[in-house]
Amino acid sequence: MALSHVMHCPECGAANRIPDDKQGVSGRCGACKARLPALYTKPLVLDDTAFDPFVSSYRLPVLAEFWAPW
Q: Which residues bind Zn ion (CB under 5 A)?
A: 9, 11-12, 14, 29, 31-32, 34
| Closer residue to Zn ion in complex, CB, 7/9 | 9
| Closer residue to Zn ion in complex, CB, 4/52 | 4
Number of C-beta neighbours around residue 16 at 10 A: 19
The minimum distance between CB 61 and Zn ion, in angstroms, equals 19
The minimum distance between CB 64 and Zn ion, in angstroms, equals 28
The minimum distance between CB 22 and Zn ion, in angstroms, equals 17
- φ, ψ of residue 16 to 5 degrees: the values are -120, 130
- DSSP output for 14-37: -EEEEEGGGTT--EE-TTT-PEEP
